[in-house]
Chain A
Amino acid sequence: MPDSFPQDSVGLVQPRTLHVDQPLELECGRSLPAYDLVYETYGSLNADASNAVLICHALSGHHHAAGYHSQDDKRPGWWESCIGPGKPIDTDRFFVVCPNNLGGCHGSSGPTSLNPDTGQPWGPDFPMMTVKDWVKSQTRLADALGIERWAAVVGGSLGGMQALQWSIDFPERLRHAVVIAGAPKLSAQNIAFNEVARQSILTDPNFHGGRYYLHDTYPRQGLILARMVGHITYLSDDAMRMKFGRDLRSGRFHFGFDVEFQVESYLRHQGEIFSRNFDANTYLLMTKALDYFDPAREHGDSLENALARTRCNFLVMSFNSDWRFAPERSREIVDALVQVGRSVSYSEIDTPKGHDAFLLPIDEYCQLFGAYMGRVADEVSAHA
């Protein structure tokens, strides 16, 4: 589509792959003998490697956070609103790194890649991943890129949880953690929604115990349902009311079960697109990683104890209409950080956009995010 890319875009980008031969010991007790991490970078690393920012992606995200893969790429990366020249994560000042998490389906080792032992896709045999495992694998990427210490580790939702885990597990390896629309752990309700999503995949007749690759099919219907239920939790009641209301596609009732309301049409469409682009085993694995996330657990169930290990500064942001990870969940993180005397700033953005707001170019949000990151950039350049 675009002959030239927008001025404030990083433009044409290319993914790269890091192959790691050093085994990765996982929380589940298993180990990955070797693995690939696909990642993208934007901007340039300064002489003392102090201006690197790690972007951690959310549930259905990947390494393509900004820019375009080709001249006729219709859509930019998933966080185009926040990454680019002059944007909150300013690529004129930062070297930005975004990997695809292990277990993903966009190029890093995961259920769709080949298990070296069998020559077949890993499928359901790919080891269960946790946020802690991801963070550990990301340290290998940092090592390979010569980054001793990130200027900031940044993420929204599940990405924010990775940023939080980084601050706890590798306190000396980051200056700032930016946790957006996150939570210190999932609530029973959060897990319940994930379980509905998983059950819709697991009970799809085309799932074949996760070995659908061998049957040349995939659990399309299950993925659609999983995404539909997930998507509802990403939007707010108000956002749905504003976007769809009770609008009918044809203007009248048909007294049947075909699509009638616009919201039905939208959800089915979103589910449909998602099912074509996302792997079911990855979806199962990522939702479990969310459910397992609970950094307080290994610190006597005390978030304060967990965060007492941290050394970095924190920015925590939430959105007032987000009911998936509501502002109160972010406040749990903030309050624990204050209690242990860590540097933390917090903003609750006023928007009707719900959980998905962290991906959107909302003025108030981008202004604050940019102001904070600008300060981070000043710090590392003063330090250089």
Chain B
Amino acid sequence: MRDDLRQISVWIPEGATVLDLGCGDGALLAHLQRDKNVIGYGLEIDQDNLVACFENGVNVIEQDLDKGLGTFQSERFDYVVMTQALQAVLRPDRILDEMLRVGREAIITFPNFGHWRVRSYLGFKGRMPVSSALPYEWYDTPNIHLCTVRDFEAHCRESGIRIIERQVVNRHHRSGALTRLMPNLFGEIAIYRVTR
């Protein structure tokens, strides 16, 4: 399992109800179902991912995140998770609001656009950054709303979203002295647990 998913599964307690936005092949939910008795649902639109979820025995609902979560009742879930998809939705601010409407807490991961390598790529090469965390060219990238750790935290402050926990890690999903000291410069992937 991916390390950011491992971190998330540490945060989610036994028996919780979980909604996973853009759940991919359902790896996280499969793990949570098996090891933590979680009742979970994933949302996906990709055919291959839907098939993979079916095969993995994960509940998956075909639903476009850009159309909101209006079909789910408020506070239906303990946790609403979105890994590596915040930057790819049309309105990250609205989806965040929706996540915190249908869930008590939200867990979000995104690639930090403030990482020094991204900055230097743009600063020195003068080209849109391409890296392992951001593997796309400017013209084909699904990442239309990239942000930095500082951007995200500023948005949370302005929107009354409380950050409960933060993990900022490097490309190997490890956190060290540098990522702790200067997360916006040395963190490649940011993992947040937030609530209203």
Residues of A within 8 A of B (CB): 315, 331, 334-335, 338-339, 341, 343-348, 364, 367-368, 371-372, 374-375, 379
Contact = CB atoms under 8 A, between A and B. Distances in A.
A364 B39 contact: no
A347 B72 contact: no
A346 B54 contact: no
A134 to B, nearest CB: 28
Contact of A374 (B50, B55, B62): B55
Interface string B41-59: 1000001001101110111
| Prevailing SS type, chain B contact patch | mixed
A371 B61 CA distance: 15
Contacts of A315: 54
Contacts of B41: 338, 344
A169 to B, nearest CB: 23
A167 B163 CA distance: 42
A332 to B, nearest CB: 9
Report, as a range, how many residues of chain B touch the other chain: 20 to 34
A371 B60 contact: no
| Prevailing SS type, chain A contact patch | helix
B54 A339 contact: no
B61 A375 contact: no
Given A334-B61, A335-B72, A346-B60, 15 more contacts: A338-B72, A341-B39, A343-B59, A345-B54, A345-B59, A345-B60, A345-B61, A346-B61, A346-B62, A348-B62, A367-B51, A371-B51, A371-B54, A375-B55, A375-B57
Contact of B17 (A334, A335, A341, A346): A341
28 contacts: A334-B71, A335-B72, A338-B41, A338-B72, A338-B76, A339-B76, A341-B39, A344-B41, A344-B59, A344-B61, A345-B58, A345-B60, A345-B61, A346-B60, A346-B61, A346-B62, A347-B50, A347-B62, A368-B47, A368-B50, A368-B54, A371-B51, A371-B54, A371-B55, A374-B54, A375-B54, A375-B55, A379-B57
Contact of A331 (B39, B53, B71): B71
Nearest to B55: A371
B59 A368 contact: no
B71 A372 contact: no
